[in-house]
Amino acid sequence: MTTDHGTGPDLHVALIGYGKGGEVFHAPLIDATPGLRLAAVVTANPERGAAVRARYPHTEVITSTDELWRRAGEFEIAVVTTPNETHAPLARAGLEAGLAVVVDKPFTVTAADARALRAEAERRGQVLTVFHNRRWDSDFLTLWQLIEDGELGRVHRFESRFERWRPRPRGTWRESGAVEDGAGLLYDLGSHLIDQAVNLFGPVRAVYAELESLRGGADDDTFVALTHAGGVRSHLWMSAMAAQPGPRFRVLGDRAAYTVDGLDGQEARLGAGERPGGADWGVEPESAWGRLGVADDTKAVPGQRGDYPAFYAQVRDAVGEGDPVPVDVHEIIHGLDVIEAALRSARTGQVVEPPRT
């Protein structure tokens, strides 16, 4: 089934899972995308099912993936937003059912699983992609443009942080689960930070990492140092124990530096229940703009417009029109190689070389 962005038949999407990822990100973005229909949400949780019915009265609630696969002919796209260790088996089942598949990050827990899924999708000629929404953050898009325009000169160091203050763990699987199941900040926030670094500066040839568990459970205070093949060094911090967070980005070049604080506002707006895609969607206030320059001679740089809705618009066009996917699985496999290298580095205290892409 194809679509012409709203005047033809919609592509029917089945969303598997309705935790934070499904409720805050995927469901509203799918629902707001012309040419896509949020046809079903799969959840066995009665409270979550009731929340789906209240917010999306035209969306069916299906209580098991077994039922979804039996009815796979009613859908074109399956979106997997469930605990990390279930990503690979559910994505494979979706491909085997003849559906295009979108998987929330991290794509899989192991790079081997990721490679196997890529091969399966290629064998079936089916669309497979990964939800890395942080590629459409305002600050990241702004930094990308500054680098493209040569405003920083030759970049030699990239510092990037997702830091929070949550001294009391919430007891979720992300915080209390096992690292081998994809729990902890390295797989969670680290997936975003590594993906952004690789997008900006290319493949990684060396990894050093420190993983701490300050609250018990999975890692909650983590540092990863990457040396890119092109020579740039990326220093990435992710923490739930940062009483005073550092800058979101600090990027040092031989001509100037760029620093920005805070987080892109799209997640907060989605979390407040706002429908994405309005006239001011993704627009950051001047108070949130980063600064470019040298020492005390800096200027505010208007933030590029953040655009999470672009992801599902590109999914629609990939499935319906054969256009490129928004996130290529090949890039994500390298990111998982880097995560696995970081885990080895943290265990051994050594610098680890990930497999070459």
> Which residues does residue 11 pair with via DSSP β-bridges, in sequence order?
36
Residues in the chain: 357
Distance CA 266, CA 283 (A): 9
CA atoms within 13 A on the CB side of 334: 21
Rounded to two decimals, the pTM is 0.94
Helix (H) or strand (E) holding 210: strand 204-212
| Residues 98/126, Cβ–Cβ less than 8 Å | yes
Protein fold of 11-131: Rossmann fold (3.40.50)
The pLDDT of residue 8 is 65
Handedness of CA 302, 26, 111, 175 (dihedral sign): positive
The pLDDT of residue 173 is 73
The pLDDT of residue 176 is 76
Q: pLDDT tens digits for 319-348?
A: 999 999 999 999 999 999 999 999 999 999
Distance CA 54, CA 38 (A): 14
Distance CA 130, CA 105 (A): 6
Residue 4 — very low, low, confident or very high, per pLDDT cuts 50/70/90?
very low
Task: Determine the distance from the C-alpha atom of residue 207 to the mean position of all C-alpha atoms in its chain, rounded to a whole number.
Answer: 21
Domain 134-307+337-348 has CATH 3.30.360.10: yes
C-alpha angle 29-22-57 in degrees, rounded to nearest 5: 70
Q: Which of 47-51, 131-135, 173-177, 291-295 has the lowest mean pLDDT?
A: 173-177
The pLDDT of residue 2 is 39
Instruction: Using DSSP, state whether 166 is helix, strand or coil.
Output: coil
Question: Do 134-307+337-348 and 11-131 have the same topology in CATH?
Answer: no
The pLDDT of residue 174 is 80
Q: Enumerate the domain spans of the chain.
A: 11-131, 134-307+337-348
